[in-house]
Amino acid sequence: MAKISVLGGGSWGIALAVQLHKNGHQVNIWSALEKEVEMLRENHEHKMLPGVKLPEDMSFSTDDREAAEGRDLLVMAVASSYTRQTAHRFAPLIKKGQKIVNVAKGIEESTLMTLSEIIEQEIPQADVAVMSGPSHAEEVGRGLPTTIVVGAGSKSTAEYIQNLFMNEVFRVYISPDVLGIELGGSLKNVVALAAGIADGLGYGDNTKAALITRGITEIARLGTAMGGKFETFCGLTGIGDLIVTCASMHSRNRRAGILIGQGRTYKEAMDEVQMVVEGVYSAKAAMGLADKYGVQLPIIEQVNAVLFDGKSAAAAVKDLMLRDKKLEVSDIPWEEE
């Protein structure tokens, strides 16, 4: 039995806590929000995961020291925009070599750093890993079969976290490609906004298939330019996560995109979804990375124009369709005529 703290009392942290408790571990859920902790203590249920009952012996706390000291693993499950703040807050309490697995998805706009890079910068003494994949909290909390990937700098750390989480409904693969895993998980949220916008405009399956297919091409183009492995973008944390986020109504990014396609601003859409829409925060960062690495991201560029420049969603789709003629795959040679 391991002693584990989940930092972040949102739906994803709760769903993972349920899996960890099912595996026989001692689980504490920490939140910076006193009202959230009170809700969990009183109801043993999160309002965003109705019907997912939390065990009576699961503890809930706002105490930083209680959450950090003596814990075999910290699961960083706060929204990406709070990752740096939370890591800085916990840094004095983390022992050398203490393991932290980040499960949020995003890129910091001001620095263009991934979330694991932020944690490593704020807590250099920690052993930092990541976990990502096609995994909606609503389904993980209910125990529906799910498969994800843990990435870490050392195989031993990846296997340790794999063993903590894995069970008959939660299959865990491991990978050394931490960067590729994080980029796939972050950038798919921006493409999912585009898929939702297309839904909001009333477009069909053809449009969505095109966005998913060309979207993963953009993600892999940038990811490999940055040093990620192409195989990662063909796997669970690339095309797998992109498919589920573009297709499911559990996806807050798709739901926000639908509202934007129907004419709402991104702020109005986020207010209506009532959850953090990570793709909005990653969209500008993606374009910053594209500029830095000299990579073209036409879908993500148009999402930025709709979100932040007042461009209509219909005009964005039209501009995508009327781009210069291209080869689908540039490195397949023609036979001589």
Closest of 131, 123, 112 to residue 86, by C-alpha: 123
Active site residue 96: no
The pLDDT value recorded for residue 320 is 87
Helix/strand/coil for 28: strand
Segment 79-110, tens digit of pLDDT: 999 999 999 999 999 999 999 999 999 999 99
Measured distance CA(130)–CA(147) in Å, rounded: 14
Report the run of H or E that residue 60 belongs to, with start and end: strand 59-61
Distant-in-sequence, close-in-space partners of 49: CB < 8 Å, separation ≥ 6: 11, 14, 15, 137, 138, 141
Confidence of residue 232 (pLDDT cuts 50, 70, 90): very high
- Check: pTM over 0.95? Answer yes or no: no
Confidence of residue 297 (pLDDT cuts 50, 70, 90): very high
Active-site choice (105, 188, 229, 284): 188
The pLDDT value recorded for residue 146 is 98
Residue listed under structure tokens 């499960």: 103
Whole-angstrom CA distances from 286 to 138, 166, 298 are 27, 32, 11
Q: DSSP for 76-102?
A: E-S-GGGHHHHHHHHGGGPPTT-EEEE
Q: Which domains does the chain have, with CATH numbers?
A: 3-176 (3.40.50.720), 179-321 (1.10.1040.10)
Average pLDDT for 184-212: 94
